[in-house]
Amino acid sequence: MIRRLEDQRRLAMLAGDAASLLGMFDTDLVYTHSDGSQDTCASYIGKVAAGHFVYHQLGFEVGNIEIHYGLALVHGWIHGEAEVKGNPRVLNCRYLAVWSGRGATWKLRAFQPTPVAENML
C-alpha cells in the first residue's frame, strides 16, 4: 500500500495536481526541500497550485519500508528534473518519507531529502 501511495504522490507531483496531493498529505505535514527550506502542507499545496514547482521528470526508487507504531518510514531515492520559480533544478537525493496511518488511511506526515554528492554516484 505504501509503495502505491509513493507512486501516486510522484504522479501527482509530475501533473502539478495540488488537489490529489492535498488528499495524501497530513495537515501537519513538514516538507523539507533539498536546499533546507521547509513548507507546511498549506504552503506546499499553494506553491504547487501556483506553478512554483514544475516537475519535468521524476523518479522515485523506493528501497526499504518499515512500519512501526502507525508510522511507515520510506527510505528511497528521488531523481529528476524540475523548475523551482522558473529556475532549472536537477534532483538527485536520498529521502525519508514518513506516512502516518489512521485506520485504513495513510497520510504523508514528513519528507526529508538529502542531496547526493556527484562524487558519490
**Per residue in 88-102, pLDDT tens?**
999 999 999 999 996
Does position 82 have pLDDT exceeding 70, yes or no?
Answer: yes
Alpha carbon distance 30, 26 (integer Å):
9
What is the pLDDT, as a whole number, of residue 119? 58
CATH level 3 topology of 2-24+31-111: Nuclear Transport Factor 2; Chain: A, (3.10.450)
pLDDT band at 104 (very low <50, low <70, confident <90, very high): confident
Q: What is the CA radius of gyration of the chain?
A: 14
Does position 1 have pLDDT exceeding 60, yes or no?
Answer: yes
The continuous run of DSSP H or E covering 93 comes out as strand 87-102
What is the pLDDT, as a whole number, of residue 45? 97
Does position 121 have pLDDT exceeding 80, yes or no?
Answer: no
CB contact at 8 A, 82 and 113: no
CB contact at 8 A, 48 and 77: no
The pTM of the full predicted model, rounded to 2 decimals, is 0.90
Q: What is the mean pLDDT of the chain?
A: 93
What residue type is 105 in one-letter code? T
Q: Is residue 23 classed as helix, strand or coil in its secondary structure?
A: helix
Q: What share of the chain is helix, strand, coil (3-state, %, to 5)?
A: 25, 55, 15
Q: Where do the structural domains in the chain lie, given as residue ranges? A: 2-24+31-111
